[in-house]
Structure 1
Amino acid sequence: MQIAGIIIEYNPMHSGHMHLLKETRARLGANGAIICVMSGNFVQRGDFAVLGKLPRAEAAVRSGADLVLELPLPWAVSSAERFADGGVQALMATGLVTHLAFGSECGDAAALQRVASALVSEVFSHHLKRELPLGNSFAAARQRAAAALLPPEDVSLLSAPNNILGVEYCKSLLLHHSAMQPLTVPRRGAAHDDETAREEHPSASALRARLRNGERDAAMVLMTPAMAEIYRREEDAGRAPVFGNICERAVLARLRSMTEAEFSMLDEGREGLCNRLYAASRKAASLEELLAAAKTKRYAYARLRRMTLWAYLGLMPADFPKNLPYLRVLAANRTGCGLLAKMRKCAVLPVLTKPADVRRLDTAARRLFAQEARATDLYTLAYPNLAAAAGGTEWKEGPVIL
């Protein structure tokens, strides 16, 4: 049986996501299955997910996935490299996944593997260390370093966001000596961050922009049918849409209460970015103003947003675990339940099907789950209806079984 893994956010789910699911299933054949690893309530760009993780996981299963596992918080809100590695770790740990499926602008798995092989070499590391002090962004420095090892057509792949993520997936497969085979489907429709709401395969950014601008009906017609139905349900319950600006004053209050030493703990690269954020936090009266003040040519907004989110959630990069301690189930259909039965025999990590399961695990696992619980309690404070934001939901809610 061929089983594909897909690393997702579905923030929210649209026709482009459905296209990848359908194409993947077609390539696997009639007996294939799909396991997704999905970010929880916070996403890689350093933001709140527009819908909670259980509704998004339910939409995934109702739209073609069989089983959805959670990508834990420290990986979900990290760089593309760490995000990809967490997803690959989870898929490998199931003991079942034969293929890693993802969308890319190029649609060429072999080319992405060539780039990945170059980027994990010691020679590339040497070139990158030489480029980084020159003041360019990390992305620009990476391309210049790659140009010393690869032909121009391969280097150009590092200019497109889904290609870049695909390279990170391939890097992780190489570093973990995984037998999973990359399977990439050409991306169609809007580009990754294109906020133009195209009729065919819009970007999730476009849907969020419409929701943020009050164009709710226009956004919903671009969602998958299951996602639109679930969105209406969550909206009626006062739990959608979720936008981080609702908690803006709380985030700013947290930043202003932090010391310089605490800001320094957010800076993974020890590059002085923490100093810019600290100075900006003393003056800024909005998150937009804070990010604009801290931004430079070298640092991407996403990195600044992640650092700000880490501060709000009380996350410190030095404490991020290297390896996943468990697999947590968010949603499954009948086929997915069959996969779970197999995982109980072949998975290399404990599988949590209810919150109480974590109490039987080691200290690192319990600490991570407690971290997830605290973050969810902060996430719910961004619900449109505060009456729906009762705390402690992580300890009460189990997976969605369809």
Structure 2
Amino acid sequence: METAGIVAEYNPFHRGHAWHIAETRRRLGGDAPVVCVMSGHWVQRGECALADKWLRAALALDRGADLVVELPTPWAMASAESFARGAVSLLAATGVVDVLSFGSEMGELAPLEEAAAALDAPDYPERLRAALGRGLSFPAARQEAAGAACLSAPNNNLGVEYLRSLRALGSTIRPLTVPRQGAGHDGPSAGGYASASELRRLLRAGRGAEAAPYLTAPWSGEFADMQHIERAVLARLRTMGEGDWAALPDGGGAEGLPSRLAKAAREAVSLEDFYARAKTRRYPHARLRRLALAAFLGLRAAERPAAPPYVRVLGLGGRGRALLRRMKDTCPLPVIVKPAQARELDGPARTLFESEARYTDLYGLCFPAPRPCGAEWIHSPVVGERA
């Protein structure tokens, strides 16, 4: 029986995510184990996750996942290329995953594989520079340089990066794509499904009853929100010089960008104001959000390893335990199940875990009532009720 791997944020976990897990299992024979690589407390949009990673892992386990492991923050909060490389590296490292399943607007592999090959072609960098030189935004220039219309859709784009990562790693994991259901990325509800961004908006606005039909379980209580740390982020940005901006990951040192960011940070009176002042066609909003949050968290490009150096388990069910037993023989990385095991790490792995603990401490400030430090060192994985 093949084991499936899925990469997700589950922010929040909704009916579309449950459908993806069920459809993946159906295509693989009905009872395939599912390993999810899930972002932790900070996500690719350059913001805090709606709820903590242990709650989100529990919801995934309740609706079909067997094992949930964490994509560490330096990859979870990165460009599509780095996000995919980190996640695929983790799935490959487990040694138990046979298939990588991902949703896409296209719903078929061939066009995505063609786009991946075009992005890896020797002449792609030159074609990209030419398109950027004509004033195109980076996404538009990338699409034109690759000659791939499918790159205009966000889930297609991420799927292409998964394919590129599998190829770059020489992985034997087989890709599988399923069509995204209902609502488009960042779009309103459709076909019985709602986008995660729409659900976050409703939940944070206290309109849980409107979100409920699209969720797999009720969400209540306090939700994390960037508004609670906005001044703290701005305070950090105002202290940064051009050299500090240039040290950030995923292009903080791009030509002309550090000086633009430093100037915007000195003038901005809100985060949205900062993004508006720094934004250009070449430097879109999402990239600026990630850079601002990386600055706040203290992420530096030089400190991110080439790949995640350990596997951190966030949640597991009965079959997840069986997968973990297999991983004792198949996974070359340390597998962290209990927090105490992290104290045995050394080198880059220990450094990364300690950084992750700091990122979690800062995440605790994103709630109406701030949470105390130390959560990373006391939380064991959540245990699902499914066999």
TM-score tier, shorter chain, comes to: over 0.9
Runs (5+) with no aligned partner, structure 1: 148-154
Distance across 2 between alignment mates of 1:7 and 1:106: 18
SS of the counterpart of 2:315?
strand
Counterpart residue identity of residue 323, structure 2: L
User: In the alignment, does 2:241 pair up with 1:259?
Assistant: yes
Which of 360, 380, 383 aligns to 2:364? It is 380
Q: Deviations over 1:339-381 (max 9, x none)?
A: 0011011112111101221222221001000110001000011
Aligned residue in 1 for 2:104: 104
| Aligned residues of 1:95 and 1:346 also touching (Cα < 8 A) | yes
Question: Which deviates further from its counterpart, 35-44 or 185-194?
Answer: 185-194
Aligned with 1:223 (options 197, 206, 215): 215
- Whole-Å separation in 2 of the counterparts to 1:393 and 1:271: 39
- How much does 1:384 deviate? 2.1
CA RMSD, Structure 1 to Structure 2 (Å)? 1.3
What whole-Å deviation, never above 9, does each CA across 1:371-401 have from its counterpart, x for those lacking one? 1000100001111223xx0101101111112
The equivalent residue for 1:250 is 232
* Conserved 8 A contact 1:197-1:207: no
Q: Specify the SS of the correspondent of 1:221.
A: helix
Residue-pair matches, total: 382
Equivalence map 1:2-401=2 (5 Å): 2-147=2-147, 155-194=148-187, 196-198=188-190, 200-225=192-217, 228=218, 231-232=219-220, 235=221, 240-266=222-248, 267-386=251-370, 389-401=371-383
Deviation by residue 1:274-330 (Cα, 9 ceiling, x = unmatched): 222211111211111111111111111110000000011011123211121100000
Normalising to structure 2: TM-score of the pair? 0.96
Measured at CA, do residues 72 and 375 of structure 1 come closer, stay the same or move farther in structure 2, by a change above 3 Å? Answer: same
Distance 2:332 2:377 in 1: 24
State the shift of 1:198 in Å.
3.9
> Matches of 1:245 and 1:321 in 2, distance apart?
31
The letter of the residue matching 2:354 is: A
Query: TM-score, with normalisation over the residues of structure 1?
Result: 0.92
Structure 1 contact 373–394 (Cα < 8 Å) conserved: yes
Q: 2:267 and 2:83 mapped to 1: Cα distance?
A: 32
Q: Deviations over 1:19-78 (max 9, x none)?
A: 101100101114411000000000011010001111001110111100000001100000
User: What CA distance in whole angstroms lies between the structure 1 residues aligned with 2:95 and 2:204?
Assistant: 40
Q: 1:203 is aligned with what amino acid?
A: S
Secondary structure of 2:57 counterpart: helix
Farther-moved stretch of structure 1 (291-300 vs 354-363):
354-363
Which secondary structure state, in structure 2, belongs to the residue aligned with residue 373 of structure 1?
Answer: helix
Query: Deviation of residue 212 (structure 1)?
Result: 3.0
Identity, in percent, stands at 49
Give the distance between the partners of 2:130 and 2:174, measured in 1 at CA. Answer: 33
What is the deviation of 1:130? 2.9
Q: Which shifted more, 206-215 or 125-134?
A: 125-134
SS at match of 1:331: strand
Structure 2: runs of 5+ lacking an equivalent: none
- Once the two structures are superposed, residues 255-276 of structure 1 have per-residue CA deviations (whole angstroms, 9 ceiling, x without a partner) of 1122232122224452222222
- Which amino acid in 2 is paired with 1:156? A
